[in-house]
Structures are given as structure tokens and as C-alpha cells.
Structure 1
């Protein structure tokens, strides 16, 4: 089970990531954000209320989105995100290791290419 502290620790441990008001960005490009569910989301999910904290994350493409949804416990989506390369994550259901992989993948996708390559080279 992951927490907001895990999100912050993982994200801000990556180069040039800033955190502000529940949003994490690399050089002003969003990579993850706190995403409360809307009424339409709850209805689509068959819920009456949000059960736990939800994080939104960019993924490289729709193929990566489908893979995350199929393979990672805690990942989900709503109709609002149809056609967008982003997933939602129930923090109280995802393993910290899986969360770390998703955040790093989001960072690699959103970071400038040179910065991402430096990170991969020095990893």
C-alpha cells in the first residue's frame, strides 16, 4: 500500500521535479497529480463515494496505458480519460514498487530527452 509520502519521495527523488499543491512536474511539465474523483467518475465506477486517495499519472502512450491497467493492481481509468495516455491509481491498492515504476516511466516520458538520457546513463 502506497501513500502520498511515497509519491512525494519517489517523484522528488528524480532530477528537476518540483511539487506544488498536489502536483508533481519536471521542468514545468506535469507528470503526476492528486485526482479526486468527480461525480461522473464515481457513477462510471459504480461507486457512491471515493474510497481512498487517487493519483493521476501520464504514461507514454495508449499501449502503455493498457499494459498498466492489465498488469498493475490499483491502476484504473474512467471514461474521462478515454483516448488519453494517463492512468489513475488507488494509492491504498498499489505496491510501492509498482508505483515507483509508474512514476519513473511518467518522468522519463515528460522530462526533456537529454535529461532523461542522462538519468538512464547514470542509473
Structure 2
């Protein structure tokens, strides 16, 4: 059955809902106390979505202040990162701090510029990049993929 919410604008609440619906995930912390969605759940978990704290490396050009609502989402490859940040229709961007790292940033306040389905696809790709191969393969070959 198709998701009736797929075509509506994405919201910040969708981030947690999408992450929680993926297999073997947990909301933990990384970099001290930064909320981070990880896969697999437990000590060996690797972050795939991070709620970034305001920092001087990411300044809003309109206000001159650090962004206070950033998400960091892992991308599978540098090419996929480039595709997301170079598409003028997407709210994704990068900063010098992430120059050599396959991840994009997005303000939660701008998530409505993409659909929930688009956000789910980007987060699922991030999850698959960090998930154990066995788990990812099972997900994509089963009902969830």
C-alpha cells in the first residue's frame, strides 16, 4: 500500500519517524552528547543522521549567526553528495568542514522544500551506507525495500 504522506512536504518530525522505522536503529549520541541516529543499535552503531549543534564552521549568511537547526546526513558517495548540493531545487548544502566527507547538511526549517518521500530516500541511503551489509541486503530484498 502506498504511503499517503509520501508527497507532502517533509517536516522535522519525519526525520525521527523515518530513522526509527528502519531496521536495527537507535537514537544515541556521538561526539560527546550530539543526538545521532545509529545502525546497528548498540555500541557498534555508526551514525547516519546527526543533529549538529551550532558551531562557528556553519554560519547563516543572512544573520551571521551559527545555524541552530542543522542535520548532517551521510551520503553513499561523493558523487551523490555533489548531486544533492548542486541541485538548486534542494535545500542541501555543505561547508568547508565537510569538504572531504560524504555528508550533506540541511536546516530542519527547510525540510519542507522536499517531499517526505524524498527525505525518506535520502535517509534510507544514509542508513544503507552505515548498516551492516547483511542487514542492508535483507532490507532491500524484503518487504521493506
Q: Which has the larger radius of gyration?
A: 2
Please name the residue that 1:101 is paired with: 121
**RMSD of the TM alignment (CA)?**
1.8
Check conservation: 2:58, 2:66, Cα contact below 8 A: no
SS in 1 for 2:141: helix
TM-score by length of 2: 0.75
- Give unpaired runs (5+ residues) of structure 1: none
SS in 1 for 2:57: helix
2:131 to 90, 108, 111: 111
Greater fraction of residues in helix: 1
Do structure 1's residue 15 and structure 2's residue 31 form an aligned pair? Answer: no
SS in 2 for 1:10: helix
TM-score by length of 1: 0.87
* Corresponding residue pairs, total: 121
1:60 to 47, 53, 76: 76
- Give unpaired runs (5+ residues) of structure 2: 1-8, 30-34
Bigger drift between 58-67 and 70-79 goes to: 70-79
Q: CA deviation at 1:48?
A: 1.3
SS in 2 for 1:89: strand
CA distance in 1, matches of 2:86, 2:54: 21
CA distance in 2, matches of 1:92, 1:98: 16
Do structure 1's residue 36 and structure 2's residue 53 form an aligned pair? Answer: yes
Q: CA deviation at 1:50?
A: 4.3
Please name the residue that 2:39 is paired with: 26
